[in-house]
Amino acid sequence: MLIDSHCHLDGTYFPAGADEPIARAQAAGVSGFVVIGVGETTAQAQMAVALARRRPECVAAAVGVHPHDASVVTAEGSTVFAEIETLSREDAVVAVGEIGLDYHYDPSPREVQREVFARFIALARATGKPIVVHTREAAADTLELLASEGARDVGGIIHCFSEDRPFAEKALDLGFDLSFSGIVTFKSARAIQDVAAWAPLDRVLVETDSPYLAPIPLRGKPCEPAYVVHTARHVAALRGIDLGTLAEATHANSERRFRRAFPT
């Protein structure tokens, strides 16, 4: 049984609730879900925690502030960081994230992104929970901050891995696993496929990043956790192993990284 190590299931994307996409994923062979709660407010984080509390057998939550929204943390009078801090201590929360740097659209100023990323790494260290890292066109700064802020102490995941092998080697050295999304199935993603084929099997996870980035053959559709099967099959083929072997390894890796069990 596969684990979707990173999905967004809040009402913005699934207005009828998360139970239906979860049921469809379970029918497809996906038994666990790490639901990411991020947004302009803490509403999504609260929803992720509530879902993980209601479905503890299969759902775990991660809470943070996406780099797109980093400015909400530093806005005068903002209580967002304090609210995430409180939520992050819940048992249902297995990681802090997603957090990181995104220099593609620069939706928040880069210095603000860096400051907020550092604050959340410190929070993760204080809670002893791993971090889920989003990085886009910010490879050097991401690696530098992970190192300088001591992220190695908690480790975590480079989610939706879309960098190259030199980055992967440094991230692995810093104690970060690599999670592959539907991007790895795209024809243009040669460098990512190389890393997916090469990375140590005990450091690889799979995810959908639902509702984004549906894998081939469903590219362009709204993505949901059931589709992680296509991504896993592609990664298995790249590695020359069968889907069952890949599923078993990524299941164990998810359990070890998030320090909880998921159904088998």
**Position with the least CB separation from Zn ion:** 134
CB of 159 to Zn ion, least distance (A): 6
Stretches 35-43, 140-148, 232-240, 246-254: which one binds Zn ion (CB under 5 A)? 35-43
Which DSSP state fits 141? Answer: H
CB of 209 to Zn ion, least distance (A): 5
Binding pattern for the stretch 155-194 against Zn ion, x by CB under 5 A and - elsewhere: ----------------------------------------
Q: How many chain residues are in contact with Zn ion, going by CB under 5 A?
A: 4
258 three-class SS: helix
CB of 240 to Zn ion, least distance (A): 29
Which residue lies nearer to Zn ion by CB, 96 or 202? Answer: 96
CB contact set of 63 (below 8 Å; sequence gap of 6+): 37, 38, 42, 45, 48, 49, 84, 87, 88, 93, 96, 97
Q: Is 134 in the site for Zn ion (CB under 5 A)?
A: yes
Question: Rounded to a whole number, what is the distance in angstroms from the first to the last CA of the chain?
Answer: 6
CB of 264 to Zn ion, least distance (A): 25
Q: Which of residues 90-109 bind Zn ion (CB under 5 A)?
A: 98
The CA R_g of the chain, rounded to the nearest whole Å, is 17
Compute the half-sphere exposure of residue 94: CA atoms within 13 Å on the CB side of its CA: 25
Stretches 40-48, 69-77, 81-89, 201-209: which one binds Zn ion (CB under 5 A)? 201-209
CB contact set of 119 (below 8 Å; sequence gap of 6+): 73, 81
CB of 59 to Zn ion, least distance (A): 15
Which residue lies nearer to Zn ion by CB, 25 or 201? Answer: 25
Compute the half-sphere exposure of residue 115: CA atoms within 13 Å on the CB side of its CA: 13
Q: Is 230 in the site for Zn ion (CB under 5 A)?
A: no
| DSSP H/E element including 118 | helix 110-127
DSSP 73-92: HHSTT--HHHHHHHHHTSTT
Q: Is 68 in the site for Zn ion (CB under 5 A)?
A: no
23's tokens: 């049921």
CB of 206 to Zn ion, least distance (A): 14
Order of all β-strands in the sheet with 204-206:
2-7, 30-37, 59-63, 93-102, 131-136, 156-158, 176-180, 204-206
Which residue lies nearer to Zn ion by CB, 100 or 246? Answer: 100
Stretches 30-38, 177-185, 213-221, 246-254: which one binds Zn ion (CB under 5 A)? 30-38
Which residue lies nearer to Zn ion by CB, 97 or 249? Answer: 97
Residues of this chain that bind Zn ion (CB under 5 A): 36, 98, 134, 209
